[in-house]
Amino acid sequence: MTAYDVALELDCRELPCPMPVIELARHLGDVEVGELLAVVARDPAAAVDVPAWCRMKEQDFVGADAADDGVARYVVRRLG
């Protein structure tokens, strides 16, 4: 179940690595600083690569939950 109230959710369920992270980068500017942005992805690499992206790009990895259909969802807070 979703645990976070996000401003924008990206559906990357069917996208292979590294597309979920690319989509995250493309849409970071679509939320305000301080807001949450989520990416929903089946790609197993996303579980590692979303937190790693946050560290490299100085954003805040908030955590992971699940979308309504049970697919993993990774939540990021825009810091800048």
Partner 1 sequence: MTAPPARSADLDSASSAPLHPAAREVLLAALDRGYADPRRLHRAGREARLLLDNAREATADALGVRPDEVTFTPSGTHAVHLGLLGLLRGSRRGSRVVDSPVEHSAVRHAVAWGADGGTEVRVDRSGRVDAAGLVEGARSADVALVALQTANHEVGTLQPVDGLQLPDDVPLFTDACASMGRLPLPDGWAAAAGSAHKWGGPAGVGVLLVRKRARWRNPFPGDDRVDERSTGFENVPAVLAAAASLQAVVAERDEVGTRQHGLVDVVRRRVAAEVPDVEVVGDPDRRLPHLVTFSCLYVDGEALVTELDRRGFGIASGSACTASTLTPSHVLEAMGVLTHGNVRLSLQRDATRAEVDAFCDALRGVVAEIRSRVGL
Taking the complex as a whole, the smallest distance from the CB of residue 77 to partner 1 amounts, in Å, to 18
Residue 42 backbone phi and psi in degrees, to 5: -85, -20
Angle of the 46-56 helix axis to the 19-27 helix axis, nearest 10: 40
Distance of CA 55 to CAs 13, 41, 60, 62, 70, Å?
A: 23, 19, 7, 12, 26
**Residue 21 binds partner 1, judged by CB under 8 A:** yes
Output 58 or 68, the one with its CB closest to partner 1.
58
Q: What is the CB neighbour count within 10 angstroms for residue 6?
A: 19
Output 1 or 56, the one with its CB closest to partner 1.
56
**Residue 13 binds partner 1, judged by CB under 8 A:** no
Of 3-11, 37-45, 63-71, 72-80, the segment contacting partner 1 by CB under 8 A is: 37-45
Residues of the shown chain interacting with partner 1 in the complex, contacts defined by CB under 8 A: 16-19, 21-22, 25-26, 43-45, 47-49, 51-53, 56-57
